[in-house]
Amino acid sequence: MVMSMLLMFASSCSKDNTQSLTVTDIDGNIYKTVTIGTQVWMVENLKVTKYRNGDPMLNISDDAAWNVLTTGAYCWYKNDITNKATYGALYNWYAVDDSRKIAPTGWHVPSLEEWTTSITFLGGEIVNGAGGKLRETGNAHWLLPNLGDTNSSGFTALPGGTRYQNGPFYDIGLNGYWWTATSSSTESAWILGMYYLDSRMITYRRYMLDGLSIRCIKD
């Protein structure tokens, strides 16, 4: 009897731990998670096409229309939905800042400060710093040389590329870019960039109309 109860308890704990390793968005996409220091992050780029309340987000494929947006929107790299499964969507910053929230309940788009916390924990922006520890290893997605790649954090960052404000797509396989929730002016916001040529992870500013990847962090 005691042994049976212990086995039931162990099974329950295992189930709870497994469930805590994933989060599901409003579209039903399931994301694995990883703990880095005291923070819990998604291991995949966001794929959601609706806000948390169920409102649909604009999917804009036309370059001219993308260039004049003043509200949240998303696209797939080169408007090819087959990129969704691996790289997720590219969003403008207005989608990040929308009061309806883009992240699943209990999660949010990280601030620059929250990104910096993880970067500092993993060694900073310097060469041989956080970038290599956050990037997927090998060349299944990152082009050669993908220097310094260890993915020791388990974050598994991918080079999802970008869409510039006037519409063109660039850099898939070469570089990855992620929004922060922190604006820097009325037209720009802080982002994180990772590059296949070295192991740095750099913070800088991009126009809010650019299309970038998003990784969410637990509240």
Query: Could you read off the pLDDT of 133-159 as tens digits, one per residue?
Result: 999 999 999 999 888 889 999 999 999
Q: What is the pLDDT of residue 6?
A: 34
- What is the mean predicted confidence (pLDDT) over 30-37? 97
Tell whether the model's pLDDT for residue 7 goes beyond 60.
no
> How far, in Å, CA of 44 to CA of 118, rounded?
16
Pairwise pLDDT comparison (117 vs 4), residue with the higher score? 117
- What is the mean predicted confidence (pLDDT) over 32-37? 96
Tell whether the model's pLDDT for residue 38 goes beyond 50.
yes
Task: Look at residue 157 and give its three-state secondary structure.
Answer: strand
Q: Cα torsion at 186, 171, 133, 20 (round to 10°)?
A: 70
Tell whether the model's pLDDT for residue 210 goes beyond 80.
yes
Measure Cα distances from 66 to 57, 177, 208 in Å: 13, 18, 11
Tell whether the model's pLDDT for residue 15 goes beyond 60.
no
Look over the chain and give the mean of its residue pLDDT values, rounded to a whole number.
Answer: 89
Tell whether the model's pLDDT for residue 94 goes beyond 90.
yes
Residue 85 has phi, psi (to 5 degrees) of: -60, -40
Indicate the pLDDT class of residue 123, thresholds 50, 70 and 90: confident
Tell whether the model's pLDDT for residue 170 goes beyond 70.
yes
Q: What is the pLDDT of residue 65?
A: 97
Residue whose tokens read 């001219």? 64
Tell whether the model's pLDDT for residue 116 goes beyond 90.
yes
